[in-house]
């Protein structure tokens, strides 16, 4: 098992954002968390990447207990997050942003970095065209691609994607999901948080449904996509 989350509780002060959630991610999978606004998806993501402290429960990565590990050490193990709201370094160029993504790698001075940058440019040709452009002047969709590209430069075993389709035009949404599938086909395990439940379930091997901080359903992406209750609640009833 790549990631094992057991009986996790996370609070913001007295607010219980996540209550007793348990889930697993196997190597090679795309797993998605689906839920309404405020269900606890981003909190779960932030807790796996170490940005929120755990009140109760454990997180294991490749069998190692990382529950209390500081966030900057997790990329070294192979966990990288592409955050909601992009979070690019707006004053830096595309290439500089990508290189920042490799900071935690022990091999960051090796030619492998150049190969991985080429891989990112292969996945996102738009970034290749714009490699000297300052990130802050790029469109929202381009910055979203850059945030994903930067996370990939950590060469992660587990890529955490928080709302990668947020704010994108429909054509670009399709493209981003195709790229996620391609990243997964190239060997990276993905934890995907999405409001776009239809696309996420279509692409995911397995899915968990979060409601007000608790996991209420789990199943294969296909099974949940065809479930009448899930359809009514998350897929607009069609």
Q: How far from the centroid of its chain's Cα atoms is residue 46's Cα?
A: 10
- Work out whether 19 is an interface residue with ligand ATP (CB under 6 A): no
In what order do the strands lie in the sheet containing 79-82?
79-82, 158-162, 189-194, 30-35, 206-211, 214-220
Q: Does 82 interact with ligand ATP (rule: CB under 6 A)?
A: no
**Cα separation, 207 vs 74, whole angstroms:** 24
Regarding 42 and contact with ligand ATP (CB under 6 A), the answer is yes
Nearest CB to ligand ATP, comparing residues 41 and 130: 41
Judge whether 56 and 216 are in contact, CB under 8 Å: no
Report the residue from 8, 29, 34, 35 that binds ligand ATP according to the rule CB under 6 A: 35
Cβ distance to ligand ATP smaller for residue 35 or 221: 35
What are the angstrom distances between the C-alpha of 24 and each of 61, 175, 222? 10, 27, 18
Nearer to ligand ATP, 121 or 234 (CB): 234
Contact between 172 and ligand ATP by CB under 6 A: the answer reads no
Binding residue count for ligand ATP, defined by CB under 6 A: 12
Nearest distance in Å: CB 94, ligand ATP = 27
Q: Does 47 bind ligand ATP (CB under 6 A)?
A: no
Largest CA distance in the chain: 52
Dist. CA 159–CA 46, nearest whole Å: 12
- Tell me which residues touch ligand ATP (CB under 6 A): 12, 15, 17, 35, 37-43, 195
């Amino acid at each position: 098992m790549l990631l094992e989350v057991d009986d996790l509780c996370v609070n913001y002060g007295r607010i219980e954002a996540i209550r007793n959630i348990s889930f697993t991610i196997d190597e090679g999978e795309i797993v998605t968390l689906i839920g309404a606004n405020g269900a606890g998806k981003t909190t779960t993501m932030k807790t796996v990447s170490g940005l929120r402290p755990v009140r109760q429960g454990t997180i294991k990565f490749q069998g190692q207990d990382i529950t209390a590990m500081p966030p900057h050490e997790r990329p070294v193990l192979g966990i990288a997050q592409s955050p909601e709201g992009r979070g690019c370094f707006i004053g830096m160029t595309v290439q500089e942003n990508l290189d920042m993504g490799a900071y935690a790698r022990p091999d960051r001075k090796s030619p492998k970095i150049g190969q991985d940058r080429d891989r990112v440019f292969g996945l996102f040709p738009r970034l290749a065209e714009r490699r000297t452009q300052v990130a802050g002047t790029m469109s929202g969709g381009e910055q979203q691609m850059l945030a994903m590209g930067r996370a990939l430069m950590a060469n992660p075993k587990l890529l955490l994607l928080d709302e990668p389709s947020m704010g994108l035009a429909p054509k670009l949404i399709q493209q981003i999901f195709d790229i996620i599938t391609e990243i997964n086909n190239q060997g990276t395990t993905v934890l995907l948080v999405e409001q776009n439940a239809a696309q996420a379930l279509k692409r995911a091997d397995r899915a968990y449904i979060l409601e007000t901080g608790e996991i209420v359903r789990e199943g294969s992406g296909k099974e949940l996509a065809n479930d009448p209750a899930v359809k009514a609640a998350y897929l607009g009833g069609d």
